[in-house]
């Protein structure tokens, strides 16, 4: 019921700000995704500077459930260096519905901050607070899955905002693409299949101090998967040290 209401609110909100026809395709796809109570995102890519190539993977899970009038937004984002069997975890953000944990595998440290209540109704701006805390505790390319989920689920409804402000998007074979330069030196493509958002593809080529850097990643989207509840729980490992978390002001 909550997600059906979210969809209706999202449909009403589209006219609240100006979107191109291409951006309306993304908006509609996000509204459809917001009706799911779970989403899995897998971002994999490489950074190449001169002859050095660094691979990475970001696995993101979100589960939104409702028991009576009580809402639980739970997340797990884990950043890995490398991919496949060579992937090594570096940092995890784990939200259990009440507390957002950040665990650093390399330094064996963790921090925590509450975004929900243990009993009764959740606080106002519950979802917005979770996403703000996630953004403040993020590392590396975590910001991209966080931004995508924030625009899908939002505070009240799905609400797409351009990932390249000021750049006119184009419809390229049914996909929505932003690019800078000719030939493009930076590009973001929202990949569609029959109106369903399946992937976000990013590539960037820059020169820094005479060195060429190329960044390429793809974020694959799976809507409605069944998730293990263990993904959203955290117990500090033996010997882990607690450190201070972010100090942000809750906004009602």
Residue 251 gets the label, from left (phi > 0), alpha (psi -120 to 50) or beta, of beta
Question: What is the extent of the structural domain holding 236?
Answer: 2-242
Q: Give alpha helix (H) positions in 67-182.
A: 126-137, 143-153
The answer to the question of residue 82 being in a domain is yes
Q: Is residue 248 part of a domain?
A: no
- Is residue 174 domain-resident? yes
- Domain of 68, CATH number, reads 2.50.20.10
User: Are 140 and 106 within 8 A, CB to CB?
Assistant: no
Instruction: Give domain status of residue 247, yes or no.
Output: no
pTM above 0.95, yes or no: no
Distance of CA 15 to the CA centre of its chain: 24
Q: What is the number of structural domains in the chain?
A: 1
pLDDT in tens, 131-183: 999 999 999 999 999 999 999 998 667 899 999 999 999 999 999 999 999 98
**Does residue 249 fall inside a structural domain?**
no
Q: Which residues contact 45 (CB under 8 A, 6 or more apart)?
A: 55, 56, 141, 202, 215, 216, 217, 218
Q: How crowded is the C-beta side of 52, counted as CA atoms within 13 Å?
A: 5
DSSP string, 86-97: G-EEEEEEEE-S
How do residues 98-124 score in pLDDT, each as one tens digit? Answer: 999 999 999 999 999 999 998 888 998
């Amino acid at each position: 019921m909550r997600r059906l209401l979210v969809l209706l609110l999202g449909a009403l909100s589209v006219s609240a700000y100006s979107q191109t026809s291409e951006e309306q395709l993304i908006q509609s796809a996000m509204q459809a995704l917001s009706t799911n109570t779970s989403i899995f995102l897998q971002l994999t890519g490489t950074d190449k500077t001169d002859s050095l190539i660094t691979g990475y993977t970001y696995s993101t899970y979100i589960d939104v459930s409702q028991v009576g009038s009580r809402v639980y937004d739970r997340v797990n984002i884990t950043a890995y260096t490398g991919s496949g069997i060579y992937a090594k975890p570096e940092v995890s953000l784990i939200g259990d519905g009440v507390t957002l944990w950040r665990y650093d595998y390399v330094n064996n440290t963790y921090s925590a901050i509450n975004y929900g209540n243990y009993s009764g109704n959740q606080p106002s701006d519950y979802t917005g607070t979770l996403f703000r805390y996630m953004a403040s505790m993020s590392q590396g390319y975590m910001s991209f899955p966080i931004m995508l989920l924030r625009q899908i689920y939002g505070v009240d409804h799905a609400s797409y905002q351009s990932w390249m402000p000021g750049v006119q998007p184009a419809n390229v074979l049914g996909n929505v693409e932003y690019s800078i330069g000719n030939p493009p030196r930076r590009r973001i493509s929202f990949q569609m299949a029959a109106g369903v958002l399946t992937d976000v593809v990013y590539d960037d080529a820059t020169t820094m101090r005479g060195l060429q850097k190329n960044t390429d990643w793809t974020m694959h989207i799976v809507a409605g998967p069944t998730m293990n509840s263990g993904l959203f729980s955290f117990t500090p490992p033996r010997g882990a040290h607690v450190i201070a978390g972010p100090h942000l002001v809750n906004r009602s």
